[in-house]
Amino acid sequence: MEGNLSLVGYGLATIGPAIAVGLIFAAYINGVARQPEARNLLQPIAILGFALAEALAIFALVLYFVKGA
């Protein structure tokens, strides 16, 4: 079996952002369930938070190609 260890590293690196994205959307769903009229206010905030957390995983993807390739 062939492969590259930095791929495993990338897999590990995505755990943090994955948990973060889950927490963000959990909070968003909670907020909308409690107060449906706040939906339009919460949506950009949730997507913004999601994008910022996701950036960490994107960094890792790039580092994988920089160091791994």
Partner 1 sequence: MILTALAAGTTTAVVAEEGGGGFETPTPDIFWLPTFGTSGDWAITEQMVWGGVSVVLLSVVMVALSKNAAIVPSKGQWLMEGFYNFARNGVARDMIGTKHFLKFVPLLFSLFSLILINNWFGILPPVMNPTMGRIGFPIALVLVVYVVYHWIGIKKMGLGGYFAHMVPDGLPGWIRPFIMLLEIITYFVTRPLTLALRLFGNMFAGHMLIVLFVSAGAYFLTQDVLFKLLSVPTFIMAAVMFVFEALVQFLQAYVFVLLSASYIAGALADDH
Shortest approach of partner 1 to residue 67 CB, angstroms? 11
Q: Which residues bind partner 1 (CB under 8 A)?
A: 1-4, 7, 40, 44, 47-48, 50-52, 54-55, 58-59, 61-62, 65, 68-69
Is 7 in contact with 68 (CB distance < 8 Å)? yes
Measured at the CA of 62, the angle between CA 56 and CA 66, to 5 degrees, comes to: 140
Which among 4, 14, 42 has a CA at the least distance from the CA of 26? 42
Shortest approach of partner 1 to residue 68 CB, angstroms? 6
Shortest approach of partner 1 to residue 60 CB, angstroms? 9
